[in-house]
Amino acid sequence: MRVFITGGAGYIGTSLIHHITKTFPDWKILTTDIKPLKGLDHTSNLEFRALDISQREEVVNLIQEWNPNSIVHLASILNPPPGMSEETQHKIDVEGTRNVLDGAVQANTEQIIITSSGAAYGYHKENRDWIEETDPIRGHSAFAYSRHKKEVEEMLSEYRTHHPKLKQLILRPGTILGATVNNLITDMFRKPFVFGILGHKSPFVFIWDEDVIQIITKGILENKEGQFNLAGDGALSLKEISSMIGKPYIAIPALILQSALFLLRIFRLTQYGPEQIDFLRYRPVLSNKQLKGEFGYTPKYSSKETFILYLKAKGVPYHEN
């Protein structure tokens, strides 16, 4: 088995490589990233190449040269560093994915695994209480990450039509938590208060990073294809989260929060704008029925259990409701 992994220096990439190289020593792994790979020295079945995924010719040529059975495409910009333009993000997220797909097609790769996101569904008033894989992929105009995931999913649909021999396994995770994870969502829970929007529960679905690694590995082993939401059972509202971590929950009317964000952004006191309150107001809550049924994997931990594991790992006192 020859597996090509993009974004190998990222959080999930590093965890996946650790798991595969130890569990399947006869597999050959080539991983790429624009950042250096850390903590994986002297791994005999692993090769690393520094690569900018937006450089089309380099990406296509490397995939053809290496001729993998399966590609796991993890490279993406979730939390852009200060100063990174949306144009650069688009080149990495969207055009980078096109480069990998074209490399896969030209190399006659059997399967590609793409990490999309629950954000691809977008943050909309019309979102159903529990979103399934057949619900529309709409993205959201206020969030580059969400817009880009929508574009990527549209591209994948085109490639399924024109290149049906390339199996696509598309994974749409909710919020991934793990012992060492840090992101914009976990930052929300470190503040003195938990803010919400009056009249909206703002439920979150969580999945433990080890479940994600097991799902990707199962996808490779069984040559899976299809689209699947990744989430533990159940969901936690912001009010439930605040109660568990012992912090006050403050529900603010949407209009007041929009005005406050408008002023704060003018004075550069926040990266969020008034148009982004939909992130909390209309959260996509992912159903995992298809993951457990058609894919055949039941997450080890529910959303609540995942959040508790995260709090324990961070040494945060919590109260079980």
Residue 270 lies in a domain: no
Mean pLDDT of 291-312: 96
Instruction: Tell me which residue has tokens 């979102």.
Output: 127
CA gap 107, 117 in Å, rounded: 26
Residue 193 lies in a domain: no
Question: Where is pLDDT greater, at 131 or 42?
Answer: 131
Looking at residue 79, its pLDDT comes to: 83
Overall domain count for the chain: 1
Residue 268 lies in a domain: no
CA gap 68, 41 in Å, rounded: 22
Looking at residue 220, its pLDDT comes to: 98
Using one digit for the tens of pLDDT, what is the confidence trace for 199-215?
Answer: 999 999 999 999 999 99
pLDDT confidence tier of residue 75, bands split at 50, 70 and 90: very high
Using one digit for the tens of pLDDT, what is the confidence trace for 247-267?
Answer: 999 999 999 988 988 888 888
Looking at residue 271, its pLDDT comes to: 67
DSSP 291: I
Mean pLDDT of 125-132: 96
Looking at residue 7, its pLDDT comes to: 97
Chain centroid to CA 75:
10
Structural domain for 56, as ranges: 2-181+206-232+285-301
Residue 251 lies in a domain: no
pLDDT confidence tier of residue 321, bands split at 50, 70 and 90: low
Q: Residue 68 sits in a domain of what CATH number?
A: 3.40.50.720
* Beta carbons of 54 and 75 less than 8 angstroms apart: no
Mean pLDDT, rounded, of the chain = 93
